[in-house]
Chain A
């Protein structure tokens, strides 16, 4: 049986404010420092602990996972039809994406990276609006305030300090808001990852960092990315708990993230969660994964697929039968059909929008340039 979900030891509350002790007062230390994260990923599905889970929650997660898998497949298909410029698929990582969206309350915020379209959709956003970035008609197709989802962030880890700042601001205002930020294994090497973790811990900001360790930063494997025992270990240096979880076990991710979110909500400060998962497809449709990994590795992970893990659990417990699975698949197909149909319509764009939102008030330089473009459009007979 895997390790229980007991939280790791809390950092000492006074650490942030303690001044250096003058040398004469130093006491020799004999006990090893605590605060180390789990050594094995936390896992529930397929273990006796799963019996305690609420069947309704499991069925809801199953429906979301099936829809998520179908969403990934449909978006990838749209790249082949030229309807999306690019799609970084989260196939294989759906458990992380869905759990991240599910553990948040309405007032909470999600800070996704470019691979997290699915998490944004699962949070309630219109899939067409989410895919706008990857279709190429708008940088952000949705209003971030509508469902409290920050724009999908392409520069790696740069969204993490935003999550910290927003959570900090909410706490200063006395609002009950938690921010959950997503980042990949490659992103943990960025300076912004370090700075965000450090600020979050110093400020005790109500923020949760979820690292989806999918094994590769495009082609570079984790071994070339870090020498740390695990990415969760990085939490130790910042004075926050680090949790290691099986990223393909949706119940485990949901549990660990849920605990971290509640801990943040109670004023307990930030948590770093590393979810070990696998990117089943290439980095994007423009990538060739066969250049850097073997099919046998992919096949091994296919046997640990997040959708199948949950389905097996549900069927063994008699919570799901063929009819239930068929219904979930049908709902996912309907979602995909609707998405396909809407994405097949060409977006209607106004070229004059180029100048619309650079500044609150257009500068005289932009007014001149807008006039130039307007004249070009008029000359070309484009409708106003």
Chain B
């Protein structure tokens, strides 16, 4: 009766709502934060992540731009040069490609080119990945392109809490951050209190989502729920799987990952992005370099096929699912134990 009001009420919230709240709070806290992109104003973005921002902060703070991704990011560079903190929305993963020259030649390099004089605190939000039945050019996993570019941070949340905390951290960062939003998790729900939002997470720290002892599933973004489901299913086979959610691909948390794999002795990297040239190759190499003498089996990868993203009616065959993860776990040379 007496202290009921002290604890904020937890309500079901979606990742989309948490992202919206993060933008809203960042804009309220810091007048230099400006949101710009296609349809982010009146419409609130095609995924409604910027819903209400133009109404609350005005068109100058949340701006509908011309339809031109290079122009959006290029003008954001100029705005950042002048001391603003732009948050750019790319409407879909594959629509961000026209902005790559600005991203790679200027956004990623400006701090370095100017020996620290001109940092660019720009957040580039990119809805990415498949699983929502999107037609061509709406489901790419483009993280490998960003990872391959020094000077960028690459961050991706998998939970409602992280969506809020990591986006706040990205906007607060003095470095450019490519913030990859797994669009099939936009409507995932968790108990969350918008009155006392989750903590601002430091960028660059992975987290153990599920402790386990048999093997480590290393994953991020849209594949985290898949791995958690696989870990539950694996119990029936007698495997106790640990799930590491990377949260940040750059910087990469070698410490958390290696600590886990040294303990379990086995690892599978899981992501939607194609395997060849994908993040899994880098991660497997890093794990092998650090954990070789602890490994009972080669580090395996479960990834999307090396194909252009398939039509929506076929995507279920392309996306790594629970069965494919379990099949990989089964191939981790368990017979050597018996």
Contacts and interface: CB of A to CB of B under 8 A. Distances in A.
Interface in A160-174: 160-170, 172-173
Nearest to B173: A360
B114 A144 contact: yes
Interface in B93-130: 98, 101-102, 105-106, 109-119
A219 interface: no
B81 A195 contact: no
B200 to A, nearest CB: 16
Nearest to A141: B115
A155 to B, nearest CB: 5
A151 interface: yes
Contacts of B71: 161, 164, 192, 195-196, 198-199
B267 interface: no
Interface of B is mostly: mixed
A80 interface: no
A81 interface: no
B103 to A, nearest CB: 11
B74 A357 contact: no
Contacts of A198: 66, 68, 71
Contact of A359 (B74, B113, B175, B252): B175
B82 A170 contact: yes
A166 B81 contact: yes
Contacts of B60: 172
Interface string A130-154: 0000000011100111000011000
B191 interface: no
Contacts of B76: 165
Nearest to B77: A162
Nearest to B151: A358
B101 A140 contact: no
A95 B275 CA distance: 55
12 contacts: A139-B113, A140-B114, A162-B106, A169-B82, A173-B82, A173-B83, A192-B71, A195-B74, A198-B66, A357-B111, A357-B116, A365-B254
Interface of B: 34, 60, 65-66, 68, 70-71, 73-84, 86, 98, 101-102, 105-106, 109-119, 150-151, 153, 173-175, 204, 250-252, 254-255
Task: For the complex of A and B, list the 5 residue pairs with the smallest distance between their C-beta atoms, beginning with the closest.
Answer: A165-B78, A161-B74, A195-B71, A165-B75, A166-B78
